[in-house]
Amino acid sequence: MIDLLRINDPEGEYPKSYYTSTVSIQNVLPSLQENIKCQICIIGAGFTGLAAALSLADLGYESVVLEANRIGFGASGRNGGQVGSGQRWDQEKLEMHFGFKQAQIFWNIAEEAKKEVYSRIKRHEIKCDYNPGVIQACINRRDTLDSYDQADQLTEKYNYQNLRKLNHEEISEILNTDFYKGGYLDLGAGHLNPFKLVLGLGSAALTVGVKIYEKTKVAKIEYGKKNKLTTSAGAVVNSDYLLVAGNGYLGNLDEETASRVIPINNFIIATEPLKYGFLESFLHHNYAVADSKFVPNYFRPSPDKRLIFGGGENYTYKFPKNFKETARKKMIKVYPQLKDSNIDFSWGGTLAITRNRLPCFRKVSDTAYSISGYSGHGVALSIIAGKIFAELIAKKSERFDFFSQLPIEPFPGKSSFRWPLMVLGMLWYSLRDRFR
Ligand SMILES: Cc1cc2nc3c(=O)[nH]c(=O)nc-3n(C[C@H](O)[C@H](O)[C@H](O)COP(=O)(O)OP(=O)(O)OC[C@H]3O[C@@H](n4cnc5c(N)ncnc54)[C@H](O)[C@@H]3O)c2cc1C
């Protein structure tokens, strides 16, 4: 049986990434050794699990977090750091499928999600290098016109006043490349160091009394009136309520979630600090960028003037050996001037996607829930998801129900056979990127 928690990383250790080089790693927290009972148990110490624990504490609930590796070991500690606006679907698509009223709810929750991130940063004094500004950069004229329509729609229908359209000349000047044909700048979105954020949330949770056990892998869940969890070391946890927040690393621990939410891998590189004169305008503006490819390139400057560049994904469990070179080639297409720059760091991470790319909020039983599958748009959404879980426990289930009623269908073949079909579909779209 393939173990997603171990297959690409040494057991219990963080990957060597630019992010891990920016903090001093704390001593490991004790793992769970004895049997315990608790009111609320959470599996996974990423953004979802920790935001849930913190929001529960705000409402007066105690919780226990079980983390197979370390706090922020998963996607939360490795991602592109973009705190994006909206959902994974744009508002027009949401309106088409669900009508304006529901699309407005999606938008409002996404706006609250960004605010929740800022407010946690402020409240817990987390120094995570936040900077405002994300550019939606378009690779051709058609995508540029679509992005202008989106900007108009957000400004006029949703009264979102943070957008500035960019033409070819403007975007080229800001980004020091003429690769992109236009797009828009979103000053209501931003970027940060996600590892510092997730560690900050972990410390805040410990401070308010959340019990976090690291190197504690849940090996089995028995759902019932109470939930019985058994760790790989044999300790048993009995909990009144359970949140499964293992996202892309969960594997088949919960079969129904596994059939709806599948892991894919995505890769990032970081250059050496860039020499004076290289990408000056880009470094000066300090905006993050996400482009319009099906497998998007996303990049941003680091405080020490590196280019952090995300590009390329794969759909098998194991990271490919050449992912650093794949990402570097993508970077050089955008920035040929960096062809001789050293790549100091390269790392990969596993995220979870759903079939339609909307998040998967599941009521597993009357006392057990799972939230995952943000499909690459989870930095802000996972943090509001944690808050929505806490509301549910406090008997305000409206927002959880809103998401849990979305049509998140199983992948064809359910959890065991979904791979070949999914891989074919994804490869087809990623190949299309080459001809646009
Ligand atoms: C390379 C990359 C780039 C990305 N870039 C962006 C971006 O720029 N913007 C954006 O919005 N989103 C981005 N994402 C997605 C975003 O990172 C995720 O949506 C978000 O971090 C999900 O948080 P989470 O807490 O649900 O999951 P995770 O952070 O993956 O946490 C899950 C945790 O559960 C633990 N776990 C799993 N199974 C068990 C078990 N059996 N027992 C105990 N613990 C278990 C894991 O060890 C892990 O720590 C990116 C993802 C990747 C991989």
State how far the Cα of 48 lies from the Cα of 268, in Å rounded to an integer: 22
Q: Rounded CA gap, 197 and 120, in Å?
A: 9
351 Cα to the center of ligand 1, angstroms: 6
Whether residue 416 has pLDDT greater than 60: no
- Cβ–ligand 1 distance for 76 under 6 Å, the answer yes
For 3-37, the pLDDT digits (tens) are 888 899 988 899 999 999 999 999 999 999 999 99
State the SS3 of 6-26: CCCCCCCCCCCCCCHHHCCCC
Q: Where are the domains of the chain?
A: 20-79+195-260+355-428, 129-191+263-354
Q: Would the pLDDT of 310 be above 90?
A: yes
Residue 81 C-alpha to ligand 1 middle, in angstroms? 12
Supply the pLDDT for residue 268.
98
Residue of 11, 48, 230, 247 with the most ligand 1 atoms within 8 Å of its CB, for mutation: 247
Residue bearing the CA closest to ligand 1, atom 52:
79
Q: How far is the CA of 46 from the centre of ligand 1 (A)?
A: 6
Q: Which pTM value belongs to this model?
A: 0.96
List CB contacts of 272: < 8 A, sequence separation 6 or more: 306, 341, 342, 343, 344
**Contact between 117 and 131 (Cβ < 8 Å):** no
| Best residue among 71, 232, 249 to mutate for probing ligand 1, ranked by most atoms within 8 Å of CB | 249
**Residue 78 · residue 15 · CB < 8 Å:** yes
pLDDT confidence tier of residue 294, bands split at 50, 70 and 90: confident
Q: For the segment 179-227, what is each residue's pLDDT rounded down to a tens digit?
A: 999 999 999 999 999 999 999 999 999 999 999 999 999 999 999 999 9
**Whether the predicted pLDDT of 99 surpasses 70:** yes
What are the C-alpha distances in Å from 335 to residues 100, 156, 279, 328, 430?
A: 40, 35, 9, 10, 21
Is 377 touching ligand 1 by the criterion CB < 6 Å?
A: yes
Cα 164 to ligand 1 centroid, rounded to whole Å: 31
248 Cα–ligand 1 center, Å: 6
Q: Could you identify the atom of ligand 1 that is nearest to the CA of residue 69?
A: 47
Ligand 1 atom nearest to CA at 265: 53
- Of the CA atoms within 13 Å of residue 199, those in its CB half-sphere come to 21
Contact status, residue 250 vs residue 42, Cβ threshold 8 Å: no
Q: What is the pLDDT of residue 3?
A: 86
Residue 428 has a pLDDT of: 61
Q: Whole-number mean pLDDT of the chain? A: 94
Instruction: Give the residue whose CA is nearest to atom 53 of ligand 1.
Output: 349
What's the one-letter identity of residue 74? G
Q: How high is the pLDDT of residue 412? A: 79
* Atom in ligand 1 nearest the alpha carbon of residue 288: 8
- Distance, in Å, from the CA atom of 337 to the CA atom of 358, rounded to the nearest integer, reads 37
φ, ψ of residue 238 in degrees (nearest 5): -105, 120
Give the separation between CA 245 and CA 45, rounded to whole angstroms: 8
pLDDT reported for residue 432: 58
Q: How far is the CA of 75 from the centre of ligand 1 (A)?
A: 3
* Ligand 1 center to 281 CA (angstroms): 32
The CB of 379 under 6 Å from ligand 1? The reply is yes
- For the stretch 227-285, pLDDT in tens is 999 999 999 999 999 999 999 999 989 999 999 999 999 999 999 999 988 999 999 99
pLDDT tens digits, 318-375: 999 999 999 999 999 999 999 999 999 999 999 999 999 999 999 999 999 999 999 9
Residue closest via CA to ligand 1's atom 2 equals: 79
Residue type, position 176, single letter: N
Q: Which atom of ligand 1 is nearest to the CA of 268?
A: 1
Residue with tokens 């004790």: 30
Element (H, E) at 310: strand 307-314
Atom of ligand 1 nearest to the CA of 378: 19
Instruction: Give the percent of the chain with pLDDT over 90.
Output: 88
Produce one character per residue of 191-220: b if its CB has 16 or more CB atoms within 10 Å, e if not.
bbbbbbbbbbbbebbbeeebbbbbbbbbee
How would you classify the pairing of strands 307-314 and 261-271? antiparallel
Query: From 3.90.45.10, 2.10.260.10, 3.50.50.60, 3.40.190.10, which CATH number describes the 20-79+195-260+355-428 domain?
Result: 3.50.50.60
pLDDT band at 421; cut points 50, 70, 90? low
Ligand 1 pocket test, candidate residues 79, 317, 361, most atoms within 8 A of CB: 79
- 246 Cβ closer than 6 Å to some ligand 1 atom: yes
Tokens 């098998």 found at: 316
Stronger pLDDT, 1 or 186, i.e. the higher one? 186
Tell which residue, 107, 98, 165, 102, has the closest CA to residue 136. 165
Count CB-CB contacts under 10 A for residue 117: 26
Q: What is the pLDDT of residue 2?
A: 78
* The token pair that represents 296 in the structure block: 């998007």
pLDDT greater at residue 414 or residue 96: 96
Mind listing the pLDDT tens digit for each residue in 143-163? 999 999 999 999 999 999 999
Q: Using pLDDT thresholds of 50, 70 and 90, give the confidence band for residue 393.
A: very high
- pLDDT in the model for residue 436: 58
- Full DSSP string of 361-412: EEE-SSSEEEEE--TT--HHHHHHHHHHHHHHHTT--HHHHHHHTS--PPPT
Residue nearest to atom 31 of ligand 1 (CA): 46
Round to whole Å and give the CA distance between 135 and 279.
16
Tokens representing residue 108 in the block:
């409002």
Q: Which CATH class is domain 129-191+263-354?
A: alpha beta
